[in-house]
Amino acid sequence: MSAPLAVVATMSAVTMGVLAAEPERSDTNLLASSSTSQSISSAGSASASDIGVGASSGGAAPRGRDEIVSRSQIRTAAKAEAAARKDISVDRQARRLAKKVDNTLWTIETLNLWDGPGEKAKKFGVVDALTKVSVTGRRQMGRAQVVVDGQSRWVTAAYLAQEKPKPEPEPKEPAGPSLGGACANGSSIDAGRASLYEIHDAVCANWPAITSYGTWRSDGEHGQGRAIDIMVSGQTGWDIAEFLRANYAALGIEYIIYSQQMWSVERSGEGWRGMSDRGSTTANHYDHVHVTVY
């Protein structure tokens, strides 16, 4: 409210200045002044330098030469004073209404503050979300009158609430695959190492859509009962391969092959290594993840 009061003080000062100004002299006085000036000029007793000294010595300016306040300035100041008084009256009335209603509401969003409810209202900043504001009970055109810092303001009524809204929890990232869990899709394997059963259960629990696994075969590690093929392709195959690589120690894994790439414990520092073309999709392990355990 300091700005409206300053305007009122300014208007009062302007008005007093106008009333204190000396009225214009009569024609007789003007003629007398003219005659006196001519006498001084003809006498030649005052030089230009003397006049300069007198002006610079702080001598008073001739009376009647004070700065003139125009009528338009007076009207402008009067309008400003009237507007300031109106704002003060509106703020005072809003505070009285808020005190009478004795109710506060919470803002559920950051809201614009307006000086009125109409479409031509002026914006005066914002009020933060989760702020308690006093209300007057007046509502117009979808806006509610509130009192902020002792001043009357209007906000969108739909974003006011009786209870303080609870902040929305931070979204949780979806949990990734993990060890443990039970296989519930009915699949099973027959293998020669306990760790292969653990691999099957972990993959089945996290990717229940996969139901096809290969273990015993006559060649190589499959014939030794220490290898398993997980029949999968595409990105899901890579998800499984990376999951198994991340948990190789817990699952007793020696190496993994998928999509013509190989990772082994012995050369783990090299990451996935490319393999030569073996001539077919299956031979190049594009349609299954091969896992060998110790």
**pLDDT, tens digit, for every residue of 187-233?**
999 999 999 999 999 999 999 999 999 999 998 999 999 999 999 99
Domain boundary assignment for the chain: 194-293
The token pair at 6 is 């300053």
**pLDDT, position 80:** 87
Read off the amino acid at residue 192: G
Model confidence band, residue 3 (pLDDT cutoffs 50, 70, 90):
very low
Per-residue b or e along 235-244, where b marks 16 or more CB atoms closer than 10 Å to that residue's CB: eebbbbbebb
Question: Is the whole model's pTM more than 0.75, yes or no?
Answer: no
Burial class (CB in 10 A: 0-12, 13-18, 19+), 106: middle
**pLDDT, position 66:** 54
Average predicted confidence (pLDDT) for the chain:
83
Question: Does pLDDT of 45 surpass 50?
Answer: no
Read off the amino acid at residue 50: D
| pLDDT tens for each residue of 91-141 | 999 999 999 999 999 999 999 999 999 999 999 999 999 999 999 999 999
